[in-house]
Chain A
Amino acid sequence: MPQSLMAFLAMLIASLAAFNQMNSRIGSFDNVIRSEYELMANAVVLEQMELLDLGTDYEDLENWDGDELDRSFTVGDMSIAFTLIVEVQFVDEDGQPSEVETNQKEVTIRATQEKFLVPLVQHSRLFSD
């Protein structure tokens, strides 16, 4: 009986070690895959920020506030879809959000992806009149 108990314990410990190792491996892969998505999201957000900067007058920036844009990172046949959420707000000289109109606006673009619960990347840029 003691031998059986020892054998059972040995197998249990070995199984637990294997399970832990597998979990840690999955976690590492998840991190690597997430970092790939973040790099792609970064590219898509920065492009949208440049387009917004180039093509929008300062007075019209708030027209983008609340917009949700579908954009993709495409390489050859592969395409990953992202949703970009645009937020525009007035900020004061310290860069803090302001309820009253100031002479600078902060545009923030967040990239979300259906596989992830939280936004992958967020970029902000200040525009002044």
Chain B
Amino acid sequence: MQVILDHLSAVIISSAVLLLILSTQFNAQRATTEQTIASIAKKSTLEMVDYLEDELLLIGDGTEDTIQSASTNSDGMTTAFSFWRQDDSGTDMLVSYTLTEQDSVQFKDDWVQLYQFNRSENGVASGGGSSTLSHFEITMLTETGAVTTTPANARLLRLRAVTVYPYGDPDDSYLHRTFWGITLRPMNLGV
């Protein structure tokens, strides 16, 4: 009887130890994957917004007009934004940013609509960016910081973007999205 009890307790203890080690290993693996995904998403967002920052500062540089139009939807997102700038050869071109709807992803109980960021030059598609944006916003501000919808009154541009990580099992993830924002002062606005 004593021998059976010894064996039984040995099996229980070794199983417990094995389970602990496996669970630790599994958690470490998941954490690494989540960190990698977060890092990729952040890098992709920063690459896109770096380009936007550089380009938006060129609004109206050498051209007669500056911002042509800006449209927002009911969620306050900028769905279209057009402005004039010069290309590398010094020719005026109309650059347009638009958002197009992509799939929706579910996080916990919420469905999040994803958008693709598109860019065009004189109506011809050229470049673009993330297809996992859940929010994108370009707001025109006056010199006092008030929001304006009139391009002639705009002195600053406030940009906001949110990128979602549509990977893995969202119910098991703690990190779902990454935020970015900046306020730019294109020198030719309001001049």
Listed in ascending order, the chain A residues whose CB lies under 8 Å from chain B are 3, 7, 10-11, 14-15, 17-18, 21-22, 24-25, 28-29, 32, 35-36, 39-40, 42-44, 46-47, 50-51, 53-55, 73-76
Size class of the B contact interface (CB-based, 8 Å): 35 or more
Q: Which residue in A18, A40, A50 is a CB contact (below 8 Å) of B179? A: A40
In Å, the complex CA distance between A11 and B13 comes to 8
Instruction: Establish whether residues B143 and A10, one from each chain, have CB atoms under 8 Å apart when the complex forms.
Output: no
Instruction: Establish whether residues B181 and A43, one from each chain, have CB atoms under 8 Å apart when the complex forms.
Output: yes
Residue of A nearest to B177 (CB): A36
Instruction: Establish whether residues A32 and B35, one from each chain, have CB atoms under 8 Å apart when the complex forms.
Output: yes
In angstroms, how far is the closest chain B Cβ from the Cβ of A106? 19
Which one, B14-22, B54-62, B89-97, B117-125, is touching chain A? B14-22
In Å, the complex CA distance between A28 and B6 comes to 42
Instruction: Establish whether residues B143 and A55, one from each chain, have CB atoms under 8 Å apart when the complex forms.
Output: yes
Residue of B nearest to A45 (CB): B183
Known: A14-B21, A25-B31, A75-B181; 4 extra A-B contacts, CB below 8 A, are A7-B14, A32-B38, A46-B182, A47-B145
Instruction: Establish whether residues A18 and B75, one from each chain, have CB atoms under 8 Å apart when the complex forms.
Output: no
Instruction: Establish whether residues A51 and B143, one from each chain, have CB atoms under 8 Å apart when the complex forms.
Output: yes
In Å, the complex CA distance between A31 and B84 comes to 40
- What residues of chain A lie closer than 8 Å to B148, measured between beta carbons? none
Q: Is the interface of A mostly helix, strand, loop or mixed?
A: helix
- What residues of chain A lie closer than 8 Å to B20, measured between beta carbons? 11, 14-15, 17-18
With A39-B179, A43-B181 known as contacts, the answer to whether A21 contacts B13 (CB < 8 A) is no
Instruction: Establish whether residues B182 and A17, one from each chain, have CB atoms under 8 Å apart when the complex forms.
Output: no
Residue of B nearest to A37 (CB): B179
Q: Which residue in B14, B38, B42, B143 is a CB contact (below 8 Å) of A54? A: B143
- What residues of chain B lie closer than 8 Å to A39, measured between beta carbons? 179-181
Residue of B nearest to A8 (CB): B13
In Å, the complex CA distance between A78 and B184 comes to 22
In Å, the complex CA distance between A18 and B25 comes to 9
Cβ of B85 within 8 Å of any chain A Cβ, yes or no, is no
Q: Which residue in B16, B24, B143, B179 is a CB contact (below 8 Å) of A75? A: B179
In Å, the complex CA distance between A40 and B160 comes to 10
In angstroms, how far is the closest chain A Cβ from the Cβ of B16? 6
Instruction: Establish whether residues B156 and A54, one from each chain, have CB atoms under 8 Å apart when the complex forms.
Output: yes
Residue of A nearest to B26 (CB): A21
Instruction: Establish whether residues A7 and B10, one from each chain, have CB atoms under 8 Å apart when the complex forms.
Output: yes
Residue of A nearest to B158 (CB): A47
